[in-house]
Structure 1
Amino acid sequence: MTLTALVRSQPQPFAGRGRPWAIAVTVALALAACGGGKKDAAADKDVKAKPALLIAPEDVRAVTQSGLIGAPVITGAIQPARRADLRAEVAAIVLQVAKDNGERVRQGDLIIRLDATAIRDSLTSAEEALRAAQQSFEQTERVLTRQRTLNQQGMTSMQALEDAEVRRNSAQSELAAAKARVVTARQQVSRTEVRAPFDGVVSERKVSVGDTVQVGRELVKVIDPASMRFEGQVSADRLGELKIGQAVSFRVNGFGDVEYRGKLARIDAAANATTRQVELIASFDQPAKAPQVAGLYAEGRVESADRRALVLAEGSVQRQGDSAFVWKIAGSQLKKVNVTLGERDERRGEVVISSGLALGDEVLRAPTGSLSDNAAVVRVKPGSGAASGVAAAPVVAASK
């Protein structure tokens, strides 16, 4: 039975007294409303949102160990170990340029063809001279044979035999010289075709069709991109800290924050008299991932085992007065951890962590916004994070 029906079922005397049942209904409804409000408030409390930081892998940075802080600095460029500057070996006019800058070539591929008309004429003349010399030699050889026969029969003098031998020897020398001239002419003809000495890429073309080139003029450069290495210089003052085989870490201009690893392969024995720097070469640990463009500026450091320390990027460190702290991710919570800082590397943007963190600890990469100690942390997939905890998502408690 409802409240209204209950009230209406009361004796009629109530009706004559100003309808007091209406008052009862109002009171009952008010009590019911108060009771329902308490239940709604309790339900709202159960589902109250608790802030949790959404942390994706890109929002996290780990504490690493490095021997690069304060290590010798190397500056230089990325250069190929295999490179060829092809120059003109004959004076001629450029007739054809078969390969342009950036095009790949195989060993023996034609790159530039020079005009060989005059050289072919020289070859023809040399071949004719060779033919005449061959005939002259054969004739003198036959004369010498007859003179020997006649001399044995006593029909000619020794002087005639000696003269025949002299003429034969002279013809033989002329034949040898004619053969050499033919070989030289053929070489000159072959040098009018400039071909790739190895598999690689045309890096710099210096001539065009119609140009007249002289002997020694540079025509084209060919490099092997698979043989890239870091050729740099280091101050002679730091030479005592370097050894063949030491690890090198460097960055290449044009490739952002990509860090390449390598090893010292060669250290020159003499310093430059003007700059007092020593040239050295570092090979890539992964040659297949090396930049394929020669001449790019690079800068790096030689890693030293004596300088190894815990390091962290400065963007993860926040300062408050004279103290510094980081936001460490410990399980499912965010912890504010005070740290002691050491030496700073301006080139790499890193700072030594003397105390407060251990190797492998995870901290927020770039903490911003309002963060609180012991805040809940939720790991999410890449691309779904809150950029080091700038935004928060609710964690809803289950309602009983």
Structure 2
Amino acid sequence: MRRLAKIGLGVLALAVIGGGGLYLFKARQPANAVATAPVSPTAAPRFEGLEFSPADLAEARTADLRRAVRLSGSLQPFNQTVIRAEVAAVVEEIRVRPGERVKKGQLLAKLDTADLAAKLREKQSNLDSARSTLSLAEINRNKAVTLTQRGVKSQTALDEAENAWRTARANVAALEQQVAMARKALNDAAIYAPIDGLVAERFVNPGERVAVDARLFSIADLDVMEMEALVPARDVPQLRIGQPVVLRVEGFGDRLFEGHIERINPTAQSGSRSIPVYILLRNGDLSLRGGMFGSGEAILAEAANTVAIPAEALRREDTETVVYVLQDGRLQRRAVTVAIDQTTDGRVGIASGLAAGETVISTPGLRLNDGLAARVAGR
């Protein structure tokens, strides 16, 4: 009996242990359940929204913006002239050198006047003789008129006297012109500056014989400079006479020179289809020189101290121009008014709808919605 009791107790103990093992197995592996990894109570919840990299965003900032057309070209004096010889003669004296400043009417050089003076004397002598002949012809004509009226001379004699007088008078007039030309030639032997400026070039030296129309000097007035810029035909309709221009010139670093559009050529060049535009610049300190290269902008529009964002941040939705602002973890759709676009640095100015310091989505092509949750990656 005692042995049977021990066996019974052993069977009961095995049953209890076996039942406990079955309970534990069933608790870990429920029927038809899919095994999953245990969830850590400290893991961050998954973010449901859009994440942007810093490169996708831009901060709205106040700036001075401008829309402009690019211009470049070579600078030349607006007033410049080449002085040429009016007479053929030997250069007797030169009073200026290249680089010297001259005034209008200043004597620059003298040509030898010996031959010119002799020609003038010859023409003047011929004129004096012709005037004496004219005086005699006039006396004979007056006598012929009187005698014809009295019937002493015939009409034929009067006609001859009249013709001689007319011929003598025409001869005097012709010789007076020759004397005037000879006197002018003598005066032209003295070379004067026609404008204020600097002597750019001197083409002759004392002792040389120059021909008529030979180059003597080149004078440039540097007070006003002109730049010829070739502008594509598509940009010309945006330009107008008097439009301000800001230029940088090689050799002057960041110094700016202000000018304006003086003229616009009416026709395009046949090869490039570009249209010459002429810009005038004041050069009061005479620092600019002919042949220097300048580049700059013709200012089409300006907006000072305006809210500026990249042009890529603008979106066209229906009939509105909008931007999307990232604020407090969500996107806000904002309708904005553009103050200036197509600026030289690629930004646009916003007149209303956006404040400086706000962050906008600047990456185009993304599908965005108002109120959508959003954040910057890693933050």
Q: 1:239, 1:257 → 2: CA distance? A: 27
Name whichever of 97-106 and 176-185 sits farther off. Answer: 97-106
Unaligned runs of 5+ in 2: 1-60, 309-340, 358-379
Q: 1:272, 1:66 → 2: CA distance? A: 32
Q: 1:119 to 1:310 in 2, by over 3 A?
A: farther
Aligned AA (1:92)? A
Is residue 2:304 matched to residue 1:304?
Answer: no
* Residue equivalent to 1:82: 79
Q: 1:116 to 1:66 in 2, by over 3 A?
A: farther
Q: 2:231 aligns with which of 207, 231, 234?
A: 234
What's the secondary structure of 1:121's corresponding residue?
Answer: helix
Q: Is the 8 A contact 1:228 1:290 kept in 2?
A: no
Q: 2:219, 2:93 → 1: CA distance? A: 17
Structure 1 runs of 4+ with >3 Å offset: 289-292, 306-311, 342-345, 350-359
1:273-316 C-alpha deviation (Å, 9 max, x unpaired): 123222112233x55356342222111111222898889xxxxx
* Residue equivalent to 1:253: 250
1:60-97 C-alpha deviation (Å, 9 max, x unpaired): xx9852325xx422111222222211112222222211
Q: 2:144, 2:88 → 1: CA distance? A: 49
* Residue equivalent to 1:170: 167
Q: 1:189 to 1:357 in 2, by over 3 A?
A: farther
Q: 1:154, 1:343 → 2: CA distance? A: 100
Q: Is the 8 A contact 1:119 1:189 kept in 2?
A: yes
Is residue 2:180 matched to residue 1:183?
Answer: yes
CA RMSD of the aligned region, Å?
Answer: 3.2
* Residue equivalent to 1:218: 215
1:329-354 C-alpha deviation (Å, 9 max, x unpaired): xxxxxxxxxxxxx9997xxxx78599
Q: Is the 8 A contact 1:234 1:279 kept in 2?
A: yes
Q: Cα offset for 1:198?
A: 2.2
Q: Is the 8 A contact 1:228 1:291 kept in 2?
A: no
* Residue equivalent to 1:65: 64
Aligned AA (2:163)? V
Q: 2:157, 2:140 → 1: CA distance? A: 10
Q: Is the 8 A contact 1:244 1:265 kept in 2?
A: yes
What's the secondary structure of 2:121's corresponding residue?
Answer: helix
Q: 2:356, 2:172 → 1: CA distance? A: 85
* Residue equivalent to 1:93: 90
Aligned AA (1:96)? E
1:18-42 C-alpha deviation (Å, 9 max, x unpaired): xxxxxxxxxxxxxxxxxxxxxxxxx
**Higher Cα Rg: structure 1 or 2?**
2
* Residue equivalent to 1:283: 280
Matches within 5 A, 1:334-353: none
What's the secondary structure of 2:117's corresponding residue?
Answer: helix
Is residue 2:236 matched to residue 1:243?
Answer: no
Q: 1:243 to 1:310 in 2, by over 3 A?
A: farther
Q: Is the 8 A contact 1:97 1:111 kept in 2?
A: yes
Q: Is the 8 A contact 1:310 1:352 kept in 2?
A: no
Q: 1:139, 1:227 → 2: CA distance? A: 61
Q: Cα offset for 1:154?
A: 2.5
Q: 1:296, 1:228 → 2: CA distance? A: 10
* Residue equivalent to 2:107: 110
Q: Is the 8 A contact 2:66 2:343 kept in 1?
A: no
Q: 1:156, 1:354 → 2: CA distance? A: 103
Q: Is the 8 A contact 1:66 1:310 kept in 2?
A: no
Q: Is the 8 A contact 1:233 1:279 kept in 2?
A: yes
Q: 1:63, 1:101 → 2: CA distance? A: 51
Q: Cα offset for 1:139?
A: 0.7
Aligned AA (1:216)? D
Give the fraction of aligned pairs with identical amino acids, expressed as a percent: 29
* Residue equivalent to 2:54: none
* Residue equivalent to 2:291: 295
Q: Cα offset for 1:212?
A: 2.4
Q: 1:136 to 1:302 in 2, by over 3 A?
A: same
Q: Is the 8 A contact 1:106 1:198 kept in 2?
A: yes
What's the secondary structure of 2:258's corresponding residue?
Answer: strand
Unaligned runs of 5+ in 1: 1-61, 312-341, 360-400
Q: 1:230 to 1:237 in 2, by over 3 A?
A: same
Aligned AA (1:163)? E
Q: 1:210 to 1:352 in 2, by over 3 A?
A: farther
1:323-382 C-alpha deviation (Å, 9 max, x unpaired): xxxxxxxxxxxxxxxxxxx9997xxxx7859999969xxxxxxxxxxxxxxxxxxxxxxx
Normalising to structure 1: TM-score of the pair? Answer: 0.59
Aligned AA (2:211)? Q
Q: Cα offset for 1:167?
A: 0.6
1:200-223 C-alpha deviation (Å, 9 max, x unpaired): 221221222122222222211122
Normalising to structure 2: TM-score of the pair? Answer: 0.62
Aligned AA (1:168)? W
Q: Is the 8 A contact 1:267 1:279 kept in 2?
A: yes
Q: 1:307 to 1:242 in 2, by over 3 A?
A: farther
What is the number of equivalent residue pairs in this alignment?
262
Q: 1:146, 1:307 → 2: CA distance? A: 92
Higher helix share: 1
